[in-house]
Amino acid sequence: MPQPVLTTKRLILRPFRSGDAPVIARLANHRSIAEMTATIRHPYPAIDASRFVSYMLSHPEDATGPFLLTLKSNPRYAVGGAGIHKGERVHMIAYWVGAAFRKRGYASEAARALAEYGFKTLDLPVIEISCRTHNHASRRIIERLGGRRPKLRMGWSRMLGRKMPTLYYDVTRGNFLSNRLRPSR
């Protein structure tokens, strides 16, 4: 099954293309992104982005992501990245948004689209989403998706080269669907 293109009200989540490495390097090269993610380092050189895109293009069998987040109003304008992938225990969702595009709801939209894809198309019973303990914005996103009772574990930080306190949430299909029906605050 080829990787899909997902759309939200304002975003297009599309598979990476060979020309995406420069924009990924520019967007991801921010200390705050590296601090909050497991695999992005800072500085994030263009060669890392090129290797990442090359790897993704050489593994087309992975129909679950990752995706480049682009604006629906201007599909050539990227704002971040997201994906859903098989983890050790269950499928996991991860996302990041370029520093200049935060506080606009893009991460929420992307995470919601990926959760919906995971539950409806992939028929997953549960999806795990994690965030650093001090990442309050991601905690709110996860809770709005139906994440409950996080487990505190140590999660890898490529930037620091060590593990950091990380909250792991299970989002069940039932919690996601019931939260979807509630109005946003």
47-88 pLDDT tens trace: 999 998 998 888 766 657 789 999 999 999 999 999 998 888
Report the mean per-residue pLDDT for the chain: 92
pTM attached to this predicted model: 0.91
Cβ–Cβ < 8 Å for 155, 166: yes
Report the SS3 class of residue 38.
Answer: coil
Domains present along the chain, CATH in parentheses:
6-181 (3.40.630.30)
d(C-alpha 166, C-alpha 100), whole Å: 24
Q: How many CB atoms lie within 10 A of CB 11?
A: 23
d(C-alpha 26, C-alpha 40), whole Å: 12
Cβ–Cβ < 8 Å for 145, 101: no
